[in-house]
Amino acid sequence: MRHVTTSILLLTLIAFGIFSCGPGDSGDNGNNEESGLSEFEQQHGIGPIDEPMDIPESIDMDKVEQGRQLYRSRCSSCHRMDQRHVGPPLGQVTESRSPEWIMNFTLNPGDNIRNHPVGQNLLREYLTEMPQQNVDKDQTRAILEYLRYQAQDG
């Protein structure tokens, strides 16, 4: 049994090594002109959000509540607000990432992890690929609103 566990661990580490050093991973911070990403994608991630969003400054508390419920059911097993867990902490993510980036990463984690420098860096740091959450744009927008609320009021 110990041999099987050791073999599985070794194969997992090799797979992560191959995946994280795949084509297009230049190790830069998004300034690679050869990445094939548009300027918008470099700044805001790869996904269905392909133009700036009109986000009101005020927080929509109805969306916050919907987002809280979605966060608890879809996100909280891997993310905490203020500490590292399986994935990065999300309590202040709206301070460092654009709404479009958060939406695109949530809606399209696989492409962002494989093809975006920020996603590749996150994979190297956390050694875990975020799975597809099967949420639509409205649900993702609610999660974003909850994260905006957390960053503002915690």
Q: How confident is the model at residue 150 (pLDDT cuts 50, 70, 90)?
A: very high
Task: From 148, 151, 153, select the one nearest 63 (Cα to Cα).
Answer: 148
Residue type at position 57: E
Task: From 77, 78, 48, select the one nearest 141 (Cα to Cα).
Answer: 48
Structure confidence at residue 34 (pLDDT): 60
| Per-residue pLDDT tens over the stretch 19-51 | 433 333 334 444 445 679 999 999 999 999 999
Structure confidence at residue 1 (pLDDT): 52
Measured CA to CA, the distance from residue 70 to residue 143 in angstroms comes to 7
Looking at every residue in the chain, the average pLDDT score rounds to: 84
Which range has the worst mean pLDDT, 3-12, 26-35, 133-142? 3-12
Structure confidence at residue 33 (pLDDT): 54
Structure confidence at residue 76 (pLDDT): 95
pTM: 0.77
Domains in the chain with CATH codes? 45-153 (1.10.760.10)
Over residues 88-117, the mean pLDDT reads: 97
